[in-house]
Structure 1
Amino acid sequence: MPKWIFQGNPKQFSINEDKYPDLHDINQYVKDGKIIDWSIRQKQHTHEVKTGDQVFIWRSDGGDKNTGGIIALTEVYSEPKDNGGAYSQVELKVKETRLNESEGMLLRHKLKKLPETRNLLIMRLAQLTNYKITDDEFATLLRFWADPELVEKRVDKSLIERYLLYYNDEYDNFSKEFEYLEDSYRYFQKFRDPKYIKSMEWEDFQQIGEHVNAYRMPLAKGRAFGKMNASIEKYRASFLNLIHGSDPLEYRMEQFLNNDQHKLFGIGASALSEIIGNVYPEDYCFYNQRDRVAVENELEIEPDYQRGDTFSSKFIKFQKAIKEHDIAATYENVVGRKTNLPIYYEVDQFFSFIFDKFKDKHAIEKEAPKYWLLAAGENGKYWDYFRDNEQISIGWNELGDLRNYKDKKEIAQSLKEKHDYDHHPRNDALANEQFVREIKEGDYVLIKAGTSQLVGFGQITSPYQYSPGNGAQHSFRDVEWIRHGEWDVSDLPFHQKTLTDVTPYEDFLQKVMQKIEIIKDLEGEYGVNESKPYTTEHIKRDLFMDLKKVEDAIESLDYKKNIILQGPPGVGKTFVAKRLAYYHLGSKSPNNIDMIQFHQSYSYEEFIRGFKPNTEGHFVLQDGLFYKFCRKAQEQPEENFYFIIDEINRGNLSKIFGEVMMLVEADKRGKEFEIQTTYSKEGEHFYIPENVYVIGTMNTADRSLAMVDYALRRRFAFIELEPGFNTESFKEYLQTKGISQGFIDTIDSLMKEINTEIVNDKVNLGKGFEIGHSYFTPDHDIEDEQGWFERVLRLEIKPLLQEYWFDQEDKVHELLSRYQ
């Protein structure tokens, strides 16, 4: 069952005086109310809150610093009801109340210090009323609620000690790799004998690929150890110098990576860090991305990296930093030794634990949903069960709880044994693996009955669940059905598999969605046309720009009705345009926003109205995109509508707008200014309604384009967008993708230096040619930050700089070489 935190502000909390005439403030309300009402203001939760759900009540500070926190534990008494207002209401049964610290209240500022609770969504997004929390988060809060002294015992300890206590509590639940590390330790200890290295054959070196995490991807292992890339003598000499050379380790590592005499193809920095850590685990910790993120981002230890540091010097500084903070000794004092392995193996697993928990804290940054096609049994025989119970299932009950299998290989082996197959059931095993591990809450599922009919479309609302008593469906997930019916899809190619991820098949997905009347929003996601709130907190998180500039844009929309976002490449002008529309509207409403990109061939006939060929090849009068958009807005005068024109200065604006140019002006809106257009029918007029807002984008570095037509320019307010490398939201975004603080600082330093050179080049470039942050905003988690960073420099930044300074190749090389 879902678990919740519901928040109330003591300064603004309102109580139904008719229902509770004797209760006048939030404290009294919670303490004496017994059965109390609470608002459900996040609409997406309205259908999720169920009777019996456990709810913590959180009282905010309300202006009195350090007084906020958890004051009660309650239970949902009845499901949410629409009370005729803007929000639904739910009844809560109060089980226990603590209104101050002496009574055992859990204070926010103390919970904020604990790694177990510091990353609760309510800590990061404090303006909401209803917060869904995970079972683990609820269990942690319940533990502290049952023993408030536990919080007191921890808050005064160092950050490292607090994380170690957290690790110690979770040790049995954390997936550790000590068996793998022990095998690696035994293998690499042989390297400490120079005689062994001198006697190694190619097959011995190939074993490195089995004992280094960097080679878990087959492609990486194949590149490095699939075949010899040098003579066996070079392999022996390179490793002898690395492990047993007389120079300092930093120098030997640098030689191994960059000196042609020692460099070995396929063995890069990440692998080298693990090799050193495995050979000398009593002295050196691994220096992989997980370790760096844990140390730099979460434990807030700064290794004092400097511009121009090589990987080897960073490695040594990292080791020095963790020794200066006595991490190994503190680990032994707080956690104690768990294995017979050298200490830094255990420290590495502690760092891995921190990294995994760190990733969890960014739950608000949801990944784009996937779309799954699932068979409801043979010819849809389970569909009625799916629909009525709001669940989906994968079948194969004989497998039991799918979480007990390590991977799809184990599932396939079990299926083969249970059914005595003479083949390898790859597809069936993959379906079960995807059902238990790949499907996420928020993903969408399409239900097929046979190969020619769709019967349902819904959104996944729970993690994987297993219950042998759950009817015929032992492995299942909860679903909120958005559409159900019967749709003929016999004209589409349907997969025969039980479960298929159809997200990559965009054409197929688009045709399916059209059949069941599901639309795509501006973010490229399919869904029903539901408004989702979009507030200041959302825009602060989404945009890497000063909020004052955001307010300037919103005010300009209010009085001018038309704005143009202009800026250099890579500042996310289109991305910003969408979010300004959301923010001005107050919600994500895809039906209220449309977008077009101008180009040199774009015409009045496409934009406003004209004769165009129909499907039969005859020229008929057809409304253009903007004309239809304005008609839709005229029919709904109580709502705002936003028309985004990307690359507005790429079109011939006078030609595209024609006589409608006059109507774009803010004081020429409305029916009283209606005109006849070039292709108006007799007695027909057109006007732009007052509830239409136009947002254009323009690239200031586009040399080939003429200035925006003056007649249009005076009708728009111009908002200048700048690179956001130095903003906190940009840095926080990179952290959500698993980038270490040291690398974030490197990106900031590099781009500041490059953009300064661009701005100072007044003759050829200038401020309008700066490079924006979007080059460094990945849309997925980064597993290898070094490789990702180098690819961005090599494939995106370098070609742009070479275009800027086409006759100054040395300048480009010098700028980038300091960071490569």
Structure 2
Amino acid sequence: MPKWIFQGNPKQFTINKDKFPDLHDLNQYVKDGKIIDWSIRQKYHMNEIKAGDEVFIWRSDGGEKGTGGVIALAEVITDPEVGEHVYPQAQLKVKEARLDEADGMVLRSKLKELPETRNLLIMRLAQLTNYKLTDEEFKKLLKFWNNPEILDEKVNKTIVEKYLLYYKDELNNFPQEFNYLEESYKFFQQFRDPEYIKTMEWEDFQKIGQHVNAYRMAIARSRAFGNMNASLDKYRESFLYLVHGDDSLERRMDQFLNNDQYKLFGIGANALSEMIGNIFPEEYCFFNQRDRVAVENELEIDPGYIRGDTFSKRFMKFQNAIKDHQIAEKYQELIGRQTDLPIYYEVDQFFSFIFDKSKDQHTIESESPKYWLIAAGENSKYWRYFKDKEQVSIGWNELGDLRQYKDKKDILETLKEVNELDYSPTNDALANEQFVREMKEGDNVIVKHGKSKVIALGQVTSQYQYDPENGPHHSYRNVDWLKEGEWDISSHPINQKTLTDVTGYEDFLDDILYKLEVKEEPSETGVVKEELAEYTTEDITRDLFIDLDKLEDAIGSLEYKKNIILQGPPGVGKTFVAKRLAYYHMEAKKPENIEMVQFHQSYSYEEFIRGFKPNREGQFVLQDGLFHKFCKKAQENPDEKFYFIIDEINRGNLSKIFGEVMMLIEADKRGKEFAIKTTYSQDQERFFIPENVYLIGAMNTADRSLALVDYALRRRFAFIDLEPGFHTESFKEFLQAKGISQGFIENIISLMTDINNEIVRDKVNLGKGFEVGHSYFTPQGNIEDEQTWLERVIRLEVEPLLKEYWFDQEEKVDELLSRHQ
């Protein structure tokens, strides 16, 4: 039978006074009520909740931090019924209540310290009332409820021990790769015999591609082992040296990667470390991204990397750190051996487990809910099923349970094989990978119809689920549908992929949500309120990689000056910062109160303020410009704040664009009493800028081709310098949330600090305004291969910029970039 958590907020909880006249608050209601009523607000659970179901009653903090958690164990005694209440009600029989820690309640703060419970849905999505538990989740909570001392004991364990005990409980549920590893082990053990390497043929070397994860992608395997890139003797000589050479392994690895005598095309650092882990698995663990993230980010073990460490040096430091913290010994003590394979194969699977769990944790702590655009089949033929079943699902039933695949590459290869394709279905593989791993509870889904309409908005309320008996599609997630209708969005191009993450497309997303007029769910009084998403200090410090003192300067200047200009080098995200400063200043996320324009050399007064422009019939008529319309909108809503963002403000002819309105920009010239007649005013019409309008400009300090901002305009603005945010904690946390290891993050910071210091020192040609910003290193999705991702960013984005800066000093650029190797 299903198991549940029902949540109540002590500050907002309402009790039927006619039915329970002597009960006055949530605590008393649960302790003394015996038989009590509880709202069922998540309607998709209506048909699942039945008499006999077991329920944990959860009290939220309700303003008293540290007091939330499980306070009672109860049983449902009536099916939910629709009555005179706003929401259906179910009756509960309270079996046992414990209202504080001394009585043995299960504190939320303690559950959040354990890796196995900090990902409960109630931790991810705290605003719901009814939460369904898996059998495993219920068993864990029941164990802690029945034996509070076990929870206390676990909380006091080290991080490594917590994860080991968690892994022990999940061994049967975690898809391990021991069969694949055993085959790799057998293959690479042949390399321990030097005579085998001496007699290897090209076909033998090609088999390496079948036993190294780095070559799971066909293109990488083809590069390295499709055709011989050197003589057969060189392949033999290189591997003989790598495995049996007289030098230390660290030096042999370094020579294998960098010395032309041993270097082989297509075999990079990641593949090399995996081969070493397979050849000497009793001594060395793999050193792939998953292992590094597990050790450095989650287990908080610092291998002690320093600037200038080679890959082989970092490899050795990583191995030493694992040994110093006795990971293998603790593994054998707390879990015990699971196979006959060498120990570090099992340790690697433990690290893979940690890596997978870390994705969920970082999603909870570091990311806002995402928005997904999803198709409901051709002509939305599955929409009615989506609605009735309160779910979204995805096709490709031939793949089976998507959790069995390690990553997108696995899915892609299976799609090609099963469907006998002669091309790579990249978008299909990505859709499945995102649906199973990236989509989370609390995310929002927008159902599209054709190329120009959307028909529904919902909130994801479950983890990925697979059921071969489920409707047209076997892979699905539960959804709480919030809005249904038909909205025209033909002004925006709609991606034709089945599933698309549109979170980063702000203009597109803002327009859709504005048209949908997103509402909150009904209040207790049944009145529907407009949703107003708060934007707090916590939000802006997470979103922006800037110091709080700089943020305080910007907000303070915006408050008293009403006009600011954000200036900085390429890639510091000036327009991104501008919009979030506006949100923070108005204390809410209201994109409809923000207008944005980009100035250019041809931009005119007629476009900005007012002028004669052609209409659809080709006739010239007087029309209000963008800023004129914006000010009118602000005048009609004096109790709200409005923000006009001007990107590339120094690219326009400012005197020409603003004209006589330039005088009104000043903070003390706002309001109706300062209204003036403009060039195209009609009769006695006058124009003014209301006091609730704020201007935010953005300009690139590395733009050498343009003159400084007009002095008349300059004195009317406060100038805020934005700098690269590599040094901020939020930048590090952002990259960690994308699956990048701590050591690799430090490498990026070190490299970019070196590059920017060199740029600042070049005062003749460059200087501080030409630094390289952090935006180059802010990927949208999770990074599965951090080495390849960084190399592409450097090669395709950073290097061209530096070569433009130092067009006559190419060797200087090469030397700077070589520091990240």
TM-score w.r.t. structure 1 length? 0.83
Distance change in 2, residues 1:284/1:429 (3 Å): closer
Distance change in 2, residues 1:331/1:519 (3 Å): closer
Amino acid at match of 2:340: N
CA contact (8 A) 1:520 1:526 kept: no
Give ranges in structure 1 of 5+ residues lacking alignment: 417-421, 511-517
Quote the residue 1:720 is aligned against: 721
CA contact (8 A) 1:2 1:48 kept: no
Amino acid at match of 1:236: R
CA contact (8 A) 2:42 2:129 kept: no
Quote the residue 2:516 is aligned against: 528
Quote the residue 1:647 is aligned against: 648
Superposition deviation, residue 197 in structure 1 = 0.6
Worse overlay, 469-478 or 168-177:
469-478
Superposition deviation, residue 532 in structure 1 = 2.6
The alignment-based identity, stated in percent, is: 60
Quote the residue 2:498 is aligned against: 501
Q: CA RMSD in A?
A: 4.6
Superposition deviation, residue 783 in structure 1 = 1.4
Distance 1:802 1:427 in 2: 33
Give ranges in structure 2 of 5+ residues lacking alignment: 50-54, 406-410, 519-531
Deviation readout 1:552-603 (Å, 9 max, x if unpaired): 3223323222222222222211111111111222222222212111122211
Worse overlay, 567-576 or 630-639:
630-639
Quote the residue 1:742 is aligned against: 743
Deviation readout 1:448-498 (Å, 9 max, x if unpaired): 5xx899793333635555668878887755452634359899x99999xxx
SS in 2 for 1:361: helix
Distance 1:428 1:804 in 2: 37
Distance change in 2, residues 1:723/1:55 (3 Å): farther
Distance 2:381 2:269 in 1: 54
Quote the residue 2:160 is aligned against: 160
Quote the residue 1:656 is aligned against: 657
Distance change in 2, residues 1:549/1:311 (3 Å): same
Superposition deviation, residue 27 in structure 1 = 4.9
Query: 1:305 aligned to 2:305?
Result: yes
Superposition deviation, residue 244 in structure 1 = 0.6
SS in 1 for 2:616: coil
Distance 2:724 2:109 in 1: 34
CA contact (8 A) 1:57 1:74 kept: no
Superposition deviation, residue 116 in structure 1 = 2.2
Quote the residue 2:767 is aligned against: 766
CA contact (8 A) 2:402 2:432 kept: no
Superposition deviation, residue 223 in structure 1 = 0.6
Quote the residue 1:210 is aligned against: 210
Amino acid at match of 1:813: D
CA contact (8 A) 1:57 1:73 kept: no
Quote the residue 2:52 is aligned against: none
Quote the residue 1:513 is aligned against: none
SS in 2 for 1:294: helix
Distance change in 2, residues 1:142/1:312 (3 Å): same
Distance 1:788 1:432 in 2: 20
Superposition deviation, residue 731 in structure 1 = 0.8
CA contact (8 A) 1:408 1:433 kept: no
Matched positions, count: 784
Distance 2:426 2:306 in 1: 51
Quote the residue 1:150 is aligned against: 150
Deviation readout 1:420-439 (Å, 9 max, x if unpaired): xx999x99998996897489
Superposition deviation, residue 680 in structure 1 = 2.1
Amino acid at match of 2:593: N
Quote the residue 2:526 is aligned against: none
Deviation readout 1:183-236 (Å, 9 max, x if unpaired): 101111111111111111111100000000000111111111111111111101
Distance change in 2, residues 1:713/1:3 (3 Å): farther
Distance 2:29 2:579 in 1: 42
Distance change in 2, residues 1:57/1:797 (3 Å): same
SS in 1 for 2:376: strand
Query: 1:697 aligned to 2:698?
Result: yes
SS in 2 for 1:302: coil
CA contact (8 A) 1:521 1:590 kept: no
Quote the residue 1:515 is aligned against: none
Distance change in 2, residues 1:393/1:63 (3 Å): closer
Quote the residue 2:577 is aligned against: 576
Quote the residue 1:332 is aligned against: 332
Quote the residue 2:458 is aligned against: 459
CA contact (8 A) 1:390 1:481 kept: no
Distance change in 2, residues 1:482/1:551 (3 Å): same
Distance change in 2, residues 1:350/1:382 (3 Å): closer
Distance 1:501 1:251 in 2: 49
Deviation readout 1:319-349 (Å, 9 max, x if unpaired): 1110111111111111100011110000000
2:377 to 354, 375, 378: 375
SS in 1 for 2:456: strand
CA contact (8 A) 1:519 1:528 kept: no
Distance 1:803 1:167 in 2: 51
Distance 1:124 1:351 in 2: 23
Distance change in 2, residues 1:97/1:545 (3 Å): farther
Quote the residue 2:349 is aligned against: 349
CA contact (8 A) 1:257 1:268 kept: yes
Worse overlay, 799-808 or 46-55:
46-55
Amino acid at match of 1:177: E
Deviation readout 1:717-753 (Å, 9 max, x if unpaired): 2222222222111111110011111111122222233
Superposition deviation, residue 300 in structure 1 = 1.1
Quote the residue 2:619 is aligned against: 618
Distance 2:184 2:258 in 1: 25
Distance change in 2, residues 1:710/1:21 (3 Å): farther
Deviation readout 1:44-80 (Å, 9 max, x if unpaired): x98889798866535549788x766544467999899
CA contact (8 A) 2:296 2:743 kept: yes
SS in 2 for 1:363: helix
Distance 1:464 1:333 in 2: 33
CA contact (8 A) 1:402 1:436 kept: no
SS in 1 for 2:698: strand
Distance 1:229 1:17 in 2: 79
Amino acid at match of 2:273: S
Worse overlay, 595-604 or 614-623:
614-623
Distance 2:493 2:558 in 1: 46
SS in 2 for 1:793: helix
CA contact (8 A) 2:613 2:623 kept: yes
TM-score w.r.t. structure 2 length? 0.83
Superposition deviation, residue 774 in structure 1 = 1.5
Amino acid at match of 2:791: E
User: Residues 7-156 of structure 1: matches in 2 within 5 Å?
Assistant: 27-28=27-28, 31-32=31-32, 57-58=58-59, 60=61, 69-72=69-72, 95=94, 96-118=96-118, 135=133, 138-139=137-138, 140-156=140-156
CA contact (8 A) 2:403 2:436 kept: no
Quote the residue 1:514 is aligned against: none
Distance 1:526 1:180 in 2: 50
Distance 2:230 2:472 in 1: 59
Quote the residue 1:250 is aligned against: 250
Distance 1:92 1:672 in 2: 63
CA contact (8 A) 2:370 2:501 kept: no
Deviation readout 1:154-187 (Å, 9 max, x if unpaired): 2333221111101000111111111110110111
